[in-house]
C-alpha cells in the first residue's frame, strides 16, 4: 500500500494556501517551492498539519499547515473566538481574550493577527504592551477577568520554532475537552482572507506588569535579603521583569550575564535555549565564579522555568546545578513552613519525585499527583483545596503563600524570588541550600532522580518502542524485579489516559524502592524516561556516600533501560 501523498493534490493545497497567505515571506517561500517542483518540501509542509491540543500549537516556522505562520495562527484565533462565542451568547468585557508574546521570530506579528481576528469576531481583546514573560500573561487572564488568554511562544524550543499556547478564564492552560472543541472550531474556519478583522483592541500599559509584581509580594519571602545572585535570561524576555521583582522585594540586584542579557530570537550563545541542556548555563556559572556569587538563576526564553545552581566544592566546576526535583522539594518545604491551614495542597506530576508526598505528610498538608504539565497541576484537588505550591521536574514551579499560588501556571520569576529568599534565609542561619538538601535526605530518605532522554528524527521509532514495551515489558531492570507495570494509556490512579508506562521496581540492597516512567514528549521528538531511587539515610548518616550510591543505582537503571529500548542514541 502506498500512503505517500499525491504530488498533484499537494500542489493544489499549496496553491490554495498561497492564494490566502497575507505574509510576503512565507508566500515567497511557497512560490519558490512550487516553481522548483520540490515534492519533499511540499510534503513536509502540506502532507500533515500541526495538531491543536492541550499544548496549543508548536512547530517550525514556514509556509503550510504543518508549520507555524500567519495563516495557521489566524485560523487558531478564529477557532478560539468561535468557541468563546458559543459559550457567551452576547459578548461582554469578561468574554474577551488577553494576548501576550515573547521575542521569538514572528511572535509580535502573530499576536497582532490574533488581536485582529478576535476583535473582528466581536470580542474584546487586550494585548500586552511588549514582549513579556509567559507568567505575566497567565496572571493577566485572571487579573483582567478575561475568558481566555493566548501566549505566543515556543518556550525553550530551537530558534526556528514558535508556538501558540491557550489559557482559559482560570488562568491555567486548557485541558480536554476544550482542546478538542477548539480544534473542531479551527477545522470549520474557511479562508483567512475572508475573516473579518478588527482594529479596536486595547494595548495594555505597564500597569499590568506592576499588578503582577504587586501580587508577587504575597510570596513567603521572609526577612533575610543577603544573597548575591548571578542571573541569565538565556536571550529571552525575563531580565527586566526579574530585576524589577528583585528590587521590589528588597533583594540585591542580580548580576546579569551580559552575553545573554538582551532578547535575541537566534539564541546565539547556546545550542538549545533550555537551562536543562548541558552547557546552557556555562556563561552564568563562569560569571558566578568570577564574582563570588552565592546563587545562579536562569530562566528559559519565556521565563516560565527556573534553573538553580549553587556553590559546591565537591563538584568539578565548583558549582552544582540542582535538579528540578531538588528545587521542588526545597520550595515545597519552604512554602509549607511559612503557610498554615488544613486545606493546603501541594501538587506535582507522576514523573516527578515522590518526595513531595512525604514532605506534605510531615507538614500536615495534602498532596496530589497529576499527569505531566501544569495544565493538570492547576486542576488538582477538590474545590475546597488551596493549592499553595505546584511543580514539575522540568524546572517548572508555581509558588504561593497564604492566599494560594499567585500564577496558575509555571512562574520562573516568582520561583526565582522564592529561591533567593530561601537561600538568604538559610545563609542567615549559617546554612546553604545543599545543607538543606542533606537535611531533607536524613529526614525523609534520599530521593534521587535522573532522566534518559532519546531524541529521534523519525517519530515512528518512539511509537514502535512504546509498543515493544507494552507487548513485552521487562521482568527486571538493573537487578531489580519489576513488581508492577501501569499502562497509563488505560488510566491509572484515577488519572485521565495518557501515552506512558510506569514500572515499579523492588527495593535494592539499600532497602529503598525504585520507579521508572517512560513517555513520549508532548512538545519535542523525544522519548523521555524518568528514573527514581530512594535510599534511607540515618539521622547521622553520610549523605554524600548515599548520593554516590544513588547515582550508581540510577546509572545502572539508565543503562538497563537503554538496552531494553534499543533506540539509536539511547
User: Is there a contact between 499 and 521 (Cβ–Cβ < 8 Å)?
Assistant: no
Pairing between β-strand 148-152 and β-strand 161-168 as defined by DSSP bridges = antiparallel
Q: Specify the pLDDT at position 10.
A: 95
Give Cα separations from 240 to 127, 221, 246 (angstroms).
19, 20, 10
Which residues, at least 6 apart from 184, have a Cβ–Cβ distance to it below 8 Å? 79
Q: Is the dihedral of CA 299, 300, 303, 308 positive or negative?
A: negative
**Mean pLDDT, rounded, for 277-288:** 96
Q: Determine whether 155 is an active site residue.
A: yes
Rounded Cα gap, residues 532 and 179, in angstroms: 32
Examine the pLDDT at 127 and tell me if it is beyond 80: yes
Examine the pLDDT at 523 and tell me if it is beyond 90: no
Examine the pLDDT at 467 and tell me if it is beyond 80: yes
Examine the pLDDT at 199 and tell me if it is beyond 90: yes
What value does the CA radius of gyration of the chain take, rounded to a whole number of Å? 24
Question: Which residue among the candidates 36, 92, 95, 155 is catalytic per the annotation?
Answer: 155
In which band, very low, low, confident or very high, does the pLDDT at 92 lie, cut at 50, 70 and 90?
low
In which band, very low, low, confident or very high, does the pLDDT at 3 lie, cut at 50, 70 and 90?
low
Q: How many Cβ atoms sit within 10 Å of the Cβ of residue 176?
A: 11
Q: Tens digits of per-residue pLDDT, 214-262? A: 999 999 999 999 999 999 999 999 999 999 999 999 999 999 999 999 9
Examine the pLDDT at 30 and tell me if it is beyond 60: yes
**Mean pLDDT, rounded, for 29-45:** 96
Pairing between β-strand 404-405 and β-strand 396-401 as defined by DSSP bridges = antiparallel
Examine the pLDDT at 316 and tell me if it is beyond 80: no
Examine the pLDDT at 349 and tell me if it is beyond 50: yes
- If DSSP codes are grouped into helix, strand and coil, which group holds residue 33? helix
Residue-averaged pLDDT of the chain:
94
In which band, very low, low, confident or very high, does the pLDDT at 1 lie, cut at 50, 70 and 90?
very low
Q: Tens digits of per-residue pLDDT, 390-427? A: 999 999 999 999 999 999 999 999 999 999 999 999 99
Amino acid at each position: 500500500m502506498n500512503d505517500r501523498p499525491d504530488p498533484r493534490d499537494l500542489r493544489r493545497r499549496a496553491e490554495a494556501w498561497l492564494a490566502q497567505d497575507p505574509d510576503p515571506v512565507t508566500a515567497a517561500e511557497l512560490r519558490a517551492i512550487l516553481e522548483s517542483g520540490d515534492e519533499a518540501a511540499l510534503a513536509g509542509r502540506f502532507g500533515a498539519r500541526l495538531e491543536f491540543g492541550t499544548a496549543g500549537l508548536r512547530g517550525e516556522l514556514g509556509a503550510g499547515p504543518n508549520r507555524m505562520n500567519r495563516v495557521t495562527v489566524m485560523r487558531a484565533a478564529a477557532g478560539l473566538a468561535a468557541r468563546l462565542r458559543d459559550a457567551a451568547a452576547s459578548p461582554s468585557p469578561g468574554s474577551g481574550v488577553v494576548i501576550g508574546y515573547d521575542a521569538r521570530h514572528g511572535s509580535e506579528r502573530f499576536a497582532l493577527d490574533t488581536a485582529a481576528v478576535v476583535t473582528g469576531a466581536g470580542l474584546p481583546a487586550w494585548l500586552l504592551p511588549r514582549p513579556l514573560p509567559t507568567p505575566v500573561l497567565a496572571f493577566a487572564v485572571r487579573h483582567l477577568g478575561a475568558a481566555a488568554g493566548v501566549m505566543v511562544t515556543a518556550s525553550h524550543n530551537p530558534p526556528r520554532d514558535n508556538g501558540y499556547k491557550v489559557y482559559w478564564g482560570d488562568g491555567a492552560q486548557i485541558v480536554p475537552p476544550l482542546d478538542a472543541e477548539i480544534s473542531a472550531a479551527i477545522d470549520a474556519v474557511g479562508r483567512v482572507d475572508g475573516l473579518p478583522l478588527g482594529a479596536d483592541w486595547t494595548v495594555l500599559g505597564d500597569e499590568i506588569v506592576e499588578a503582577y509584581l504587586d501580587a508577587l509580594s504575597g510570596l513567603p519571602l521572609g526577612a533575610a535579603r543577603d544573597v548575591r545572585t548571578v542571573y541569565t535570561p538565556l536571550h529571552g524576555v525575563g531580565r527586566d521583569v526579574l530585576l524589577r521583582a528583585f528590587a521590589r522585594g528588597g533583594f540585591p540586584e542580580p548580576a546579569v550575564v551580559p552575553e545573554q542579557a538582551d532578547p535575541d530570537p537566534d539564541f546565539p550563545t547556546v545550542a538549545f535555549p533550555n537551562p536543562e541542556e548541558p552547557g546552557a548555563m556555562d556563561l552564568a556559572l563562569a560569571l558566578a565564579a568570577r564574582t563570588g556569587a552565592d546563587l545562579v538563576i536562569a530562566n528559559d526564553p519565556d521565563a516560565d522555568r527556573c534553573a538553580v545552581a549553587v556553590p559546591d566544592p565537591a563538584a568539578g566546576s565548583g558549582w552544582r546545578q540542582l535538579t528540578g526535583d531538588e528545587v521542588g522539594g526545597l520550595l515545597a518545604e519552604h512554602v509549607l513552613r511559612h503557610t498554615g491551614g488544613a486545606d493546603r495542597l501541594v501538587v506535582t506530576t507522576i514523573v516527578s519525585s515522590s518526595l513531595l508526598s512525604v514532605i506534605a505528610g510531615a507538614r500536615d498538608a495534602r498532596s496530589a499527583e497529576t499527569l505531566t504539565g501544569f495544565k493538570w497541576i492547576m486542576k488538582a484537588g477538590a474545590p475546597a483545596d488551596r493549592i499553595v505550591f505546584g511543580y514539575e521536574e522540568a524546572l517548572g514551579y508555581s509558588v504561593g503563600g497564604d492566599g494560594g499560588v499567585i500564577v496558575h501556571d509555571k512562574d520562573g520569576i516568582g520561583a526565582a524570588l522564592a529561591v533567593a529568599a530561601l537561600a538568604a534565609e538559610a545563609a542567615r542561619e549559617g546554612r546553604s541550600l545543599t545543607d538543606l538538601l542533606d537535611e531533607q535526605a536524613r529526614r525523609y530518605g534520599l530521593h534521587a532522580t535522573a532522566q534518559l532522554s532519546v531524541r529521534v528524527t523519525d517519530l515512528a521509532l518512539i511509537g514502535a518502542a512504546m509498543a515493544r514495551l507494552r507487548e513485552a515489558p521487562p521482568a527486571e531492570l538493573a537487578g531489580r524485579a519489576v513488581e508492577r507495570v501501569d499502562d497509563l494509556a488505560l488510566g491509572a490512579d484515577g488519572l485521565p489516559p495518557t501515552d506512558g508506562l510506569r514500572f515499579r521496581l523492588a527495593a535494592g540492597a539499600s532497602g529503598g524502592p525504585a520507579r521508572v516512567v517512560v513517555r513520549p514528549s508532548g512538545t519535542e521528538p523525544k522519548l523521555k524516561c524518568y528514573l527514581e531511587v530512594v535510599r534511607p539515610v540515618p539521622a547521622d548518616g553520610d549523605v554524600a556516600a548515599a548520593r554516590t550510591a544513588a547515582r550508581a543505582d540510577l546509572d545502572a537503571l539508565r543503562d538497563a533501560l537503554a538496552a531494553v529500548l534499543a533506540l539509536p542514541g539511547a
